[in-house]
Amino acid sequence: MSNYLVQFNNISKFFGKVIALKDVTMRLKKGEIMCLLGDNGAGKSTLIKTLAGVHKPDEGEIIFEDKKIVFDSPKDALDIGIGTVYQDLALVSLMSVTRNFFMGREPQKGIPFLKTFDVNRANKIAADRMGQIGIDVRDPSQAVGTMSGGERQCLAISRAIYFGAKVLVLDEPTSALGVHQASMVLKYIVKAASEGLAVILITHNVHHAYPVGNSFTVLNRGKSMGTFQKKDISREKLLSMMAGGEELDKLEVELQEMDRIHQKN
């Protein structure tokens, strides 16, 4: 038995002639946070959708708890415990915290055919869960629209964990957030990992990824540039690997050149 919780081995995905992903391999242990870094167009979205069961990989295999798994639908991925939190969070801002938390999986009570949504129990669970991560939901029947961006992100993550996620796939959880909000979300991600979840954190922000990640996989133009343990790689090295690196170097040279010409004139 390997000590990996989940393995994505040599995943490839083609759309017609376009190679969206080629031989991407990721292996995660329990409690590990792997950051998946890549610039826009690197294939992050395709990879997420493949992990979440939306796309079927054309090549490669997914091994979960040492069993080979084939997803036919996003529901299959959810059922075995791969919880994906998309960028749009799947939250409805006009609906209450509780109604969002249990959206699609409402607890029921009562006799068959006359089952009712157990609002009281749902309120209690939602408030408890949010309380555990230090978010004080003053009133679980308040609209999600009244929450801050960081709180919403935490609500979506908390919901995925509550409904049995063992592997959390987080799509750009900090991209739309300010420094304070982002650090709140990152803190929660570390806490979730410390409780035994494996986390795949997808981001293009090395500054957010580096402090929390245990390992880093860099994606460039659909190919993995390799997976690195934190001790083996520096923040700067990661940054320059993310395709942007070389280009930013070039940009710097060009800017210096322009500056020189400007000064001459």
Partner 1 sequence: MSLKSKSISSKDSLNKDERLKKISPFRVLLNRPELGALGGSILVFIFFGIVAGDTGMFSAYGMLNFLDVSANLGIIAIAAAMLMIGGEFDLSIGSMIGFAGICIAIPAIYWGWPLWMSIIFAFAMAVLVGYFNGIMVVKTGLPSFIVTLAMLFILRGLTLAITRLITGRTQVPGLRVLIEDDPMAWLFATDTFKWLFTWLGSMKLIELRTDGTPLATGIPPSVIWFIALTLFATWILMKTRYGNWIFASGGDKVGATNVGVPVGRVKISLFIGTAVASTIFACIQVLDAGSADTMRGTLKELEAIAAAVVGGCLLTGGYGSAIGAAFGAIIFGTVSMGIFYTDVDTDWFKVFLGAMMLIAVVFNNFIRKKVTESK
Q: Under the rule (CB under 8 A), what is the footprint of partner 1?
A: 74-75, 78, 84, 86, 88-95, 99, 102-106, 108, 115-117, 119, 127, 136, 138-139, 143, 145-148, 159
Characterize 90-109 residue by residue with b for buried, 16 or more Cβ atoms within 10 angstroms of its Cβ, and e for exposed. Answer: ebeeeebbbbbbbeeebeee
Q: Which CB sits closer to partner 1, 60 or 140?
A: 140
Q: Which CB sits closer to partner 1, 18 or 104?
A: 104
Q: Which CB sits closer to partner 1, 11 or 77?
A: 77
Q: Which CB sits closer to partner 1, 152 or 204?
A: 152
Q: Which CB sits closer to partner 1, 138 or 262?
A: 138
- Of 56, 76, 48, 88, residue with least CA distance to 173: 88
Min. distance of Cβ 117 from partner 1 in angstroms?
Answer: 5
Min. distance of Cβ 32 from partner 1 in angstroms?
Answer: 25
Q: Which CB sits closer to partner 1, 69 or 119?
A: 119
- Of 55, 88, 260, residue with least CA distance to 176: 88
Side-chain half-sphere of 152: how many Cα atoms within 13 Å?
23
Min. distance of Cβ 35 from partner 1 in angstroms?
Answer: 23
Q: Terminus-to-terminus CA distance in the chain, angstroms?
A: 69
Describe the chain by its helix, strand, coil percentages, rounded to 5. 40, 25, 35
Q: Which CB sits closer to partner 1, 23 or 106?
A: 106
Distances (CA, A) of 195 to 90, 188, 229, 241, 259: 24, 11, 20, 31, 52
Q: Which long-range contacts (CB under 8 A, 24 or more apart) does 257-264 make?
A: none
Min. distance of Cβ 48 from partner 1 in angstroms?
Answer: 12
Q: Is the dihedral of CA 79, 81, 86, 92 positive or negative?
A: positive
Q: How far apart are CA 4 and CA 6, in angstroms?
A: 6
Min. distance of Cβ 18 from partner 1 in angstroms?
Answer: 24
Min. distance of Cβ 250 from partner 1 in angstroms?
Answer: 38
Min. distance of Cβ 88 from partner 1 in angstroms?
Answer: 6
Q: How many residues does the chain have?
A: 265
